[in-house]
Chain A
Amino acid sequence: MSLLVFIEQRDGRVRSVSREALGEAARLAATLGGPVVGVCAAASDPGLAALGAAGADRVLLAVHPAFTLYDGAGYAKVVAAAAKVVQPQVVLFGASAMGRDLAPRVAGRLGLGLATDCTALAAEGGRLVATRPVYAGKAIQKVAFPGSPALASLRPKVFAPIARDGMSAAVEPLALDFDPAASRARVARVTAAGPGKVDVTEAEIVVSGGRGLKGPEHFHLIEELAEVLGASVGASRAVVDAGWRPHAEQVGQTGKTVSPKLYVAVGISGAIPHLAGMTSSRCIVAVNKDPEAPIFKVADYGIVGDLFEVVPALTDAVRKLHAHA
């Protein structure tokens, strides 16, 4: 038996979701049996041998200049071709923007069931069982796969990567029997969100602001706290709809789902659609002047108080902490 993992790269760098998926594949391989095989589409090798340390035994690489940018149909053919070669029991994807587009295409090509945005996987009686939130996180569904391989995409930041120091993966070419340049859909260009910005879905720490900030001119309080924590800035829908913050920062049902190790909600009431996007965070902190705000029901730690006093004090305290460390 074997497990296949899609290795996502952008700009020649392997994305962290793929290390998380490799880590989970390595854990599953302990019960289901290995090896763990990666498959990557790229214009050139993004340093795949190093993925041995992340759990890959070998990696199949499909090279084409058109794969500099994401090509949904082309990448789907690559993964389907790799599945044919490897005959895996399980195929894993990261549920990133790319993985959420790619995984269903592969499911369609292979004619197999796919469970998206999973938060847990288990090998039960030799078969894969996937756990995934449904109804915006108001319920949890457990699914099994009648066909083989089982396909699953993994919610970013939920699965831990592993470190097998000193291990390296064998990188093998995967032949293409199609011309990616003939694609009827292609990424014409990419606009970057801004240098050094880490997306909320990939951040270790997220500091989000809501309507309690009263106006966009006060968001510097959130940005400053985020900066000392090394965090990314998130936002509630109320402030995105008001035009204070870009949609890319929106956390919740109609925005992004985040699972950082620390989520700080400032001036956010904690409406159910917001909670849908952040309750899988490891630790939640809330700052709100209303002790009855629903956000305190999911927060591990809360401060009841005026954010205009609490946040600058918190920023200061963290800055001092780091200065002494």
Chain B
Amino acid sequence: MIQVVCVKQVPDTETRVKVAADGRTLDPSGVTWVLNPYDEFAIEQALRVRDQQGGGEIVAISLGGAGVPTALRNVLALGADRAIHLRTDLPAPDPLAVARALAAEIRALSPDLVWFGRQAVDDDQAQVGPILAELLDLPCATFVAAFALENRKATVERDFEGGREVIELTLPAVIAADKGLNEPRYASLKGIMAAKKKTIEEKPAELGETNLEVLALELPPARAAGRIVGQGAAAVPELVRVLREEAKVV
């Protein structure tokens, strides 16, 4: 069984956002880069599937700049067999452009399962996985919080407003992983050592045209300063009054 895991390197979630001089992108100075947290759930599940199947190959793919090999080395340390770095120096290609570049590479691998994170925590688009599924005409499930595989059939679960859907997919399939799917492991020392001998193949990313034009990146307007209406239970009548008369919400 061949599994592909698509991973993105993103700024650490603690990063203070500064806008670059172009007014459109993130100022990368002082940013700590990490593996997208949701992609960790994807990697973990691929590793579990490989264990369950008693073997097979896991290929990690990431599109991005010079820092990407560090992220891919992490994925190799967790247990992926090899990695492909689709190299670009564009700061933030749009999800369709990324999906097209990934699709060209993934098609050639004929995988049984293609794994994504629910969303990348930088652009927060939650798009690349389901777009790629359409491009490759593969069945797909997104926001997946439970996964089981039997023969060539995957049974997954995803939440919606007011319930949970149980979805059955025939392999090959695309899955985008949400929190709750599993508890991702940490890399072992042995894994980190083994990763040093694994290959990261670098290729130029074929990005094609731009499909979303970023006009501006701005800091959000600060919420107008609120006020403390009082201390303790004694403040409750005043709170109810302002909610009724000023905010008109109760």
Contacts and interface: CB of A to CB of B under 8 A. Distances in A.
Interface of A: 10, 15, 69-70, 72-73, 76, 96-98, 100-101, 103-105, 107-109, 111-117, 129, 132-147, 183-193, 197-199, 201-202, 205, 229, 247-248, 253-254, 261-262, 272-273, 279, 282-285, 291, 296-306, 309-310, 312-314, 317-318, 321
A193 B243 CA distance: 30
Contact of B247 (A72, A73, A112, A283): A283
Contacts of A305: 231-233, 235
B232 A309 contact: yes
Interface string B90-114: 0000111001000000000000000
B227 A302 contact: yes
Nearest to A69: B165
Contact of B249 (A261, A273, A303): A261
B124 A302 contact: no
B199 interface: no
A304 B224 CA distance: 19
A303 B230 contact: yes
Contacts of B11: 135
Given A104-B126, A140-B218, A185 B173 contact: yes
Interface residues of B, number: 85
Nearest to B161: A199
Nearest to B16: A138
B249 A205 contact: yes
B26 to A, nearest CB: 8
Contact of B167 (A100, A111, A187, A300): A187
B234 to A, nearest CB: 8
Contacts of B210: 113, 146
B220 interface: yes
B21 interface: no
17 contacts: A73-B134, A76-B134, A105-B130, A105-B134, A105-B140, A107-B127, A114-B95, A145-B212, A147-B211, A190-B166, A199-B161, A262-B243, A285-B239, A301-B229, A303-B232, A310-B236, A313-B236
Given A140-B220, A247-B145, A114 B231 contact: no
A135 B130 contact: no
Contact of A299 (B13, B122, B165, B226): B226
Contacts of A205: 249
A101 B135 CA distance: 15
A316 B138 CA distance: 55
Nearest to B171: A184
A105 B133 contact: yes
Contacts of A70: 160, 165
Interface centre among A113, A117, A261, by most chain B C-beta atoms within 10 angstroms, is A113
B95 A104 contact: yes
B216 interface: yes
B130 A188 contact: no
A247 B166 CA distance: 17
B196 interface: no
Contacts of B162: 10, 192-193, 197-199
A116 B127 contact: yes
A188 B166 CA distance: 6
B143 A142 contact: no
Given A100-B126, A184-B169, A317 B161 contact: no
Interface string B123-143: 111111111111100111111
Interface in B214-250: 214-220, 223-224, 226-233, 235-237, 239-240, 242-244, 247, 249-250
